[in-house]
A and B are shown apart, each in its own frame.
Chain A
Amino acid sequence: MSKEGRRRGTWVRLLLWGLVALALLLAAAAVFFWKRPLSVFEATGHFGLRAAGFTRLTLDTPRGPLAYWRGGQGDTVILLHGANDYAGAWAKVAGPLAASHRIVVPDLPGHGYSAPASGALSFDDILAGVERLVQAEPGDGRVTLVGNSMGGLLALLFARKHPDRVRGVVLVNGAALSGDAKGINLLPRTRDEARRATQALTGPGAPPVPGFILDDLVRRAPLSPLARLLRSDAAGSSLDGHLGEIQAPVTLLWGEADQLLPPEYARRVAQELPNARLALIPGCGHLPQRECSVKLLPLLLEALSPVPRAAPI
């Protein structure tokens, strides 16, 4: 064989091995997605924030590093996700909001990329993470807190504790009072329980969640942040009987089809808060920032605008 022919042979062999390696890599990725779809969603959700021009940053807290993303300029708005969720949940609205505000989106302590990754987790730990974030903000240090689900409870807990640091609170299907979850198990033990839980959280027209994702929800449930929280001090963080102390203006933006925290719950919360306004989002479930960002965004922008509002309801 000529020298040239040998060289070509080497290249062909290299190319073939490269293709084999690529195929193996793709197969491994497919298996990983099949087995751990939620980890993949978490990574792509965070990538969504990067794609929206946000910068990933880290703060040190007593419980370890706190990961968060920041973008935009203007008054600071902190977006707080719910239990077992992560910063990427806000990816669809964070970009457009950053056109007029300084947007800060943490992985709350114990969630996503923020410590502690395992072991005990309390509401105090998570609230301390939010306090750390607010401290790190420049200017007068006043912020608006937007919270979905458990993030709403944290926003209200913070507003009660630090009224001088809070410009306003927006609850996006946010928790505020103890509710009755009517047989919805957010820590599902079986595929059926997981299916019921996802159905209760989404609005009509949401595609059914495939079995391999439900299985990953079941697999993760016992070690999830929510399970760790419930093992510690869920009762210690209740605002029952204390909503009247929160003077900050609160806007409630509410997916009407939420079965976990239904509109009646929102009305009860709005009545107990001294300065609240409620807007329902028809056809939307518990996670408007994921499911109906199109309708949520203008409502959020209105709630965040500095224009004084009409008298509260």
Chain B
Amino acid sequence: MVLAHQVDGDGPPLLLLNGGLMSLGAWEEYVSPLAHAYRVVRCDFRGQLLSPGPPPPLEGHAHDLADLLDHLAIDAAHVMGTSFGGEVGLLFAALHPDRVRSLTAVTATDRVRPEARTALQALIQACRAAAEGGDGGRVLDLLIPHTFSPDYLETHADLVARRRRQIAALPPAWFEGLAGLVASLDGLDLRPWLGRIRCSTLVVAAEKDLTFPVEEARALAAAIPGAWLELIPGAGHGLVIEAPERLIAILNEFLANLTLEQEGRS
């Protein structure tokens, strides 16, 4: 089975990896600014909206990505992933080094701390309750205070309310999938794998990230050989949604510098 995906534009391939609650449509604002320079590939992980089925263990997602690149006849791609997709991107770079040209890990972590276990378990419970017919909006209620910065919540209250209604209307299978995705983060510790990442890597941290706080991004960047760290002031964990223009600018600069560097070397 090939992951549900969408391809836009032309140029060097750029693979965008969803956060846990996202579907590939959530990257809409990124497509037109990036598609004129890159062949932008988006996908839903197994267990997300458009790629149904129980999600595999985390490395299974990395293998799915390799299969997707095979399907698209892409040797190697620039990869940008956020949160859950950031963790998968890190693993993809560690396990399939020849498929990843560069990695941008946004609001990701080196390991999911044991302190996060209670919150993850509560989230899994809420997903299971929603899958059995309960209020799916509860899942978002649990997540929102950890996902968006107070400023964003204040200025985007209507958008968040709409999002709550959308999520509450999703089918049980979506919540079951999400429960599985969250469970695969529980106890995750990528540290022994991070030293194996060989591609140029940029870690983008959000100053107000309550899910994977800035210290975790620092630890992540420190554990990857030669990785850069970029801090976005004011943003929360949902940086991809909160500040697309900032992130696109940072990504463009990172990729442009890589190209310069590679040309300089050759």
The one of B53, B57, B91, B192 that contacts A203, using a Cβ cutoff of 8 Å: B57
Map CB proximity to A onto B160-196 as digits: 1 under 8 Å, 0 otherwise: 0000000000000000000010011011111111011
Shortest distance in angstroms between B196's beta carbon and chain A's nearest beta carbon?
8
Give the A-B contact count at a CB cut-off of 8 A.
57
Chain A residues closer than 8 Å to B59, beta-carbon distance:
292-294
A205, B54: Cβ atoms closer than 8 Å:
yes
Query: With A and B bound together, what is the CA distance between A301 and B54 in angstroms?
Result: 29
Which of A203, A206, A283, A299 gathers most chain B CB within 10 Å?
A283
Map CB proximity to B onto A284-305 as digits: 1 under 8 Å, 0 otherwise: 1000000111110111010000
Q: A204-B180, A294-B91 are in contact. Are A284 and B57 (CB under 8 A)?
A: yes
- Does B143 count as interface, using CB distance less than 8 angstroms? no
Query: With A and B bound together, what is the CA distance between A143 and B189 in angstroms?
Result: 26
Residue of B nearest to A203 (CB): B57
Chain B residues closer than 8 Å to A117, beta-carbon distance:
none
Shortest distance in angstroms between A278's beta carbon and chain B's nearest beta carbon?
13
Residue of B nearest to A292 (CB): B57
B46, A205: Cβ atoms closer than 8 Å:
yes
- Does B20 count as interface, using CB distance less than 8 angstroms? no
A295, B188: Cβ atoms closer than 8 Å:
yes
Chain A residues closer than 8 Å to B57, beta-carbon distance:
203, 205, 283-284, 291-292, 294-295
Chain A residues closer than 8 Å to B56, beta-carbon distance:
205-207
Map CB proximity to B onto A98-117 as digits: 1 under 8 Å, 0 otherwise: 01000000000000000000
Q: A204-B180, A205-B60, A205-B180 are in contact. Are A282 and B193 (CB under 8 A)?
A: no
- Does A244 count as interface, using CB distance less than 8 angstroms? no
Shortest distance in angstroms between A79's beta carbon and chain B's nearest beta carbon?
16
B183, A282: Cβ atoms closer than 8 Å:
yes
B193, A283: Cβ atoms closer than 8 Å:
no
- Does A213 count as interface, using CB distance less than 8 angstroms? no
Residues 189-222 of A at the B interface (beta carbon under 8 Å): 203-207
Query: With A and B bound together, what is the CA distance between A295 and B183 in angstroms?
Result: 12
Query: With A and B bound together, what is the CA distance between A205 and B190 in angstroms?
Result: 21
- Does A96 count as interface, using CB distance less than 8 angstroms? yes
